[in-house]
Amino acid sequence: MPAEAAHHETQSSAPSGAATVVQVLRNGWRGRCPNCREGRMFRAFLKVADQCPACGEELHHQRADDFPAYVVIVMVGHIVVPLVLEVEMIFAPPYWVHMALWPAVVVVLGLALLQPVKGAIVGLQWVLGMHGFEAAKLAREALAVPVANAARTSGDNQGGM
């Protein structure tokens, strides 16, 4: 029991927790709402829903714009360029094989990564309170403060007794 209590204390005293950011990034990667982790963030391939269908959290404040595309380009480049070199070194295939293979790999990887990357970026904007997400972040923190105060007060009472 004491171990569990200590663990809980560490979590609640962490300043807007690094774990929370990682968790939100992971949920965004899976296309889930950053707030409830259940509702679908996307109403179409790259269209973010105005509100979470599960908890109603406003998601229309997101301003991912073309940043996901830049991130995907960097990721795909770092995956494909070493692969091209490796395949050339090991198999030395004719050039037409390269011409047929790599554009297809780039298209498939790019399409596969775009939605997860955009989801993670929207989650990051949400958890950092960027753009229109600031009001929601302030509201979350305002909700968190009374709970922390209540816990501290009850702790003081127990100590006083």
Footprint of Zn ion (CB under 5 A): 33, 35-36, 39, 52, 54-55, 57
> Residue type for 37, please?
R
CB of 35 to Zn ion, least distance (A): 4
In this complex, which beta carbon is closest to Zn ion, that of residue 49 or of residue 76? 49
In this complex, which beta carbon is closest to Zn ion, that of residue 41 or of residue 113? 41
CB of 140 to Zn ion, least distance (A): 13
Q: What single-letter DSSP state applies at residue 131? A: G
In this complex, which beta carbon is closest to Zn ion, that of residue 52 or of residue 72? 52
CB of 160 to Zn ion, least distance (A): 40
CB 84 within 8 A of CB 74: no
In this complex, which beta carbon is closest to Zn ion, that of residue 34 or of residue 113? 34
> Residue type for 103, please?
P
What whole-number distance in Å separates Cα of residue 49 and Cα of residue 61? 10
In this complex, which beta carbon is closest to Zn ion, that of residue 32 or of residue 72? 32
> Residue type for 61, please?
H
CB of 97 to Zn ion, least distance (A): 46
Spatial CA neighbour of 67 closest among 46, 86, 49, 40: 46
CB 105 within 8 A of CB 80: yes
CB of 33 to Zn ion, least distance (A): 3
Spatial CA neighbour of 105 closest among 63, 86, 67, 77: 77
